[in-house]
Amino acid sequence: MGLADLHLHTNYSYDGTASVPDVLRKAKQLGLDVIAITDHDEIEGALEAVRIAPHFGIEVIPGVEITTAEGDLLAYFITENIAAGLSLIDTVLKVRALGGVCVAAHPMSGGWGMKSLSAYSIIKALRNPQVAETLIGIETYNGTAIDRISNHSARILARRLKVAQTGSSDAHIVDTIGFGVTEFSGDSAKDLLQALKDKTTQAKKMKEWSVLRVLGSWGMRYVGNTLSRWAWATG
């Protein structure tokens, strides 16, 4: 069985702290087969990861975490940015036009900084046949979610809607990569995509920190990176 972390942020995200090489290195150390770089409304980190991934011996799916008008959406297998702020349906259709697929990120999750899709938004969007062919999964385990109850709610929704389930870390620091993973038959991105379409993926919890530790670790890394960039910029 293959293991994938399908929700990772680098310092190309406004709130990310890890460089692309550091993310790839850590993912390889953890024994992951596939990862997806999904920076907030930004594709460049994913494209860099795809370019250098062969040097680290790991496969990278290019992706983006898109800020729709109704909440965050993970888009995979695309190589272009998609405008933020569109409706969920319009966003999914644009991903479809680029040949990608989508997964709802941390749906129904609340807490500081979270912009999550509601169950109503997802159910309404899936009534569109083209959306239903493209929005093929729900993230049912988010390893660093502040609202832990939302993982349980997401599992219930995924079962009701009969869509694929994914597990991911949503890592914004290198230390939390791999806290949640998606298990699938095979070991390649192609195998993973087929498993998502076949709804045979499984979301798994690998490790968990307290909310305070997650926020504290991210805060220290974020402040440290900000100070380093300021020092470099000012010479």
Q: What is the pLDDT of residue 92?
A: 98
Give the number of other Cβ atoms within 10 Å of residue 30's Cβ. 18
The predicted model scores a pTM of 0.93
Q: How confident is the model at residue 230 (pLDDT cuts 50, 70, 90)?
A: low
Note the pLDDT tens digit of each residue in 142-163. 999 888 899 999 999 999 999 9
How far apart (Å, rounded) are the C-alpha atoms in residues 122 and 134? 12
Pairwise pLDDT comparison (232 vs 77), residue with the higher score: 77
Q: Count the Cβ atoms, other than its own, within 10 Å of residue 180.
A: 29
Distance CA 113, CA 96 (A): 27
Q: Which two tokens stand for residue 178?
A: 């791999």
HSE value, Cβ hemisphere, 13 Å, CA-based, for 151: 18
Give the per-residue pLDDT at 229: 60
* DSSP letter assigned to residue 199: T
Tokens of 233: 């910029």
pLDDT given for residue 227 in this prediction: 53
Q: State the pLDDT at residue 172.
A: 95
**Listed range (21-30, 169-178, 180-189, 219-228) with the worst mean pLDDT:** 219-228
pLDDT value of position 50:
98
pLDDT in tens, 98-115: 999 999 999 999 876 789
Closest CA to 214 of 150, 123, 142, 108: 142
Q: What is the CA radius of gyration of the chain?
A: 16
CA distances for 144 relative to 114, 136, 138, angstroms:
12, 22, 16
Residue 94, token pair as written in the block: 């644009």
Residue that is written with structure tokens 């502040």 in the block: 146
Q: What percent of the chain has pLDDT over 90?
A: 83
**pLDDT band with cut points at 50, 70 and 90 for residue 233:** low
Cβ atoms 121, 104 nearer than 8 A: no
Q: Is the pLDDT of residue 232 over 90?
A: no
Residue 221 pLDDT exceeds 80: no
Average pLDDT score, the chain:
93
pLDDT at 76: 98
Closest alpha carbon to 8 in 69, 32, 146: 32
Q: Which residues contact 197 (CB under 8 A, 6 or more apart)?
A: 101, 136, 164
Dump strand ranges (E) for the chain: 2-8, 34-37, 59-68, 71-76, 101-104, 135-142, 164-168, 180-184, 202-205
Q: 46: helix, coil or strand?
A: helix
Residue 226: pLDDT above 80?
no
For the chain, which domains are there?
Answer: 2-234 (3.20.20.140)
**pLDDT-based confidence at residue 231 (cuts at 50, 70, 90):** low
